Structure 1
Amino acid sequence: MKTGKAIVVFSGGQDSTTCLFWALNRFKEVETVTFNYGQRHRFELDCASDIAKELSIKHHILDMSLLNQLAPNALTRKDIEIKSEEGKLPTTFVDGRNLLFLSFAAILAKQVGARNIVTGVCETDFSGYPDCRDVFIKSLNVTLNLAMDYQFIIDTPLMWLNKAQTWALADQLGVLDFVRYKTLTCYNGIIADGCGECPSCKLRKKGLDEYLSST
């Protein structure tokens, strides 16, 4: 039986959309929240809105443009190349992004009476991002509970899954085609299979190919 209410941190990408369907299978009520932080692939805002509308889910978009001012990165600045060098964080890493996103999601969750916050962060395919680690999520969960005197639960259904396993989860939920053709993961803002060239597209395709070849 479905119980409770959840807020899904939602970008309209593969991971967050899979998490959305995961949440819809578990919670009586689900709402989504998307953050506008000046990302250059702004089509994700439209994609997230379109998916929420199609699924008749209440969708919140919060202005986080200050993040762009504070933390220049390849996701918000066209003059910064998307690249990854061994021993360094990728240029797509945004300092404090998940810290801020989850904190604001928690504030929203309390206002709408939700206890669960669902996010698609993943330590298996996390590209070295420190704010995708399980230890960070557990630490923040404790901090949010103390900060607002409210018992939140941060759910991370993808934490220990690689991309192939994430595709498998979408298939188990009966939404593999939905996730494949209606989500936007591409850094260049191309829906579905994307540009095929950016790191995000390559990771997505590699995972899909591995999953399809195993079925």
Structure 2
Amino acid sequence: MKNEKAIVVFSGGQDSTTCLFWALKNFKEVETVTFQYGQRHSQEIEVAKAIAADLGVKHTVLDMSLLNQLAPNALTRDDIEIEQKEGELPTTFVDGRNLLFLSFAAVLAKNSGGRHIVTGVCETDFSGYPDCRDVFVKSLNVTLNLSMDFEFVIHTPLMWIDKAETWALADELGALEYVREKTLTCYNGIVADGCGECPACQLRKRGLDQYMQTKEGGEE
């Protein structure tokens, strides 16, 4: 794959940054695309820009603010609490987000000479989001190919691994400390280890603690 180009759907968070390092290892040319959809904090965009610049990859920001109008959620509205009730999707779920993000990434890829699209979606730690499932990605891959008569390949390096294994992958790629110190996963907009209280920070920390325990145990 080193002779082909990849577009990474990039938020500047742990998962997409790990995917960016994975893409840089596996493809000769890599670009990133970030979507502005009215997130609670604009810092996500700035962190993505900074990481892309630091790693020397082209970075495109696309305006998807219509999502904020169509699908009110806790990621875009201060008046909606971040919560998950039993049997319901979390309030952080954004209807159509990955469908639109991957579709627009495909348009960008085709028109910039790439056919590979890399995304950090995952079925293992996916909070019940339906658009993070493997069946959705495979279905959309077929639809995109048919819609543009083009052979796209959507890559999901994290699909079947949990957060601890995602940290392990970052370490394998030589990027564990970089991902820990430079990325923004926190729903409250705090870089690195974050606020420690929101669901995203708790999931991230639990995975890191599990991986470090495994790593330290293996080094004894």
Aligned counterpart, 1:29: 29
Aligned residues: 215
Q: Deviations over 1:101-124 (max 9, x none)?
A: 000000000000101000000000
AA of the residue aligned to 2:162: N
Which runs of 4 or more aligned residues in structure 1 lie more than 4 Å from their structure 2 counterparts after TM superposition?
Answer: none
Question: Unpaired segments of 5 or more residues in structure 1?
Answer: none
Return the alpha-carbon distance in structure 2 between the equivalents of residues 150 and 25 of structure 1.
Answer: 24
Aligned counterpart, 1:212: 212
- Whether the aligned pair in 2 keeps the contact of 1:3 and 1:26 (CA below 8 Å) is no
Return the alpha-carbon distance in structure 2 between the equivalents of residues 158 and 173 of structure 1.
Answer: 13
The residue correspondences of 1:36-115 to structure 2 (distance < 5 A) are: 36-115=36-115
Aligned counterpart, 1:118: 118
Q: How far 1:42 moved relative to its partner?
A: 1.8
The residue correspondences of 1:128-143 to structure 2 (distance < 5 A) are: 128-143=128-143
Name the SS for the 2:204 alignment partner: helix
Q: Deviations over 1:19-68 (max 9, x none)?
A: 00000000000000000000003211000000001111100000000000
The alignment yields a C-alpha RMSD, in angstroms, of 0.6
In percent, how many aligned pairs have the same letter? 76
**TM-score of the two chains, using structure 2 as the length reference:** 0.97
Return the alpha-carbon distance in structure 2 between the equivalents of residues 43 and 184 of structure 1.
Answer: 8
Q: Does residue 1:203 correspond to 2:194, yes or no?
A: no
Return the alpha-carbon distance in structure 1 between the equivalents of residues 45 and 185 of structure 2.
Answer: 12
Return the alpha-carbon distance in structure 1 between the equivalents of residues 3 and 10 of structure 2.
Answer: 21
Return the alpha-carbon distance in structure 2 between the equivalents of residues 54 and 173 of structure 1.
Answer: 16
Question: Unpaired segments of 5 or more residues in structure 2?
Answer: 216-220
Q: Deviations over 1:170-210 (max 9, x none)?
A: 00000000000000000000000000000000000000000
Q: Deviations over 1:152-180 (max 9, x none)?
A: 00000000010000000000000000000
Return the alpha-carbon distance in structure 2 between the equivalents of residues 183 and 161 of structure 1.
Answer: 19
Return the alpha-carbon distance in structure 2 between the equivalents of residues 96 and 147 of structure 1.
Answer: 18
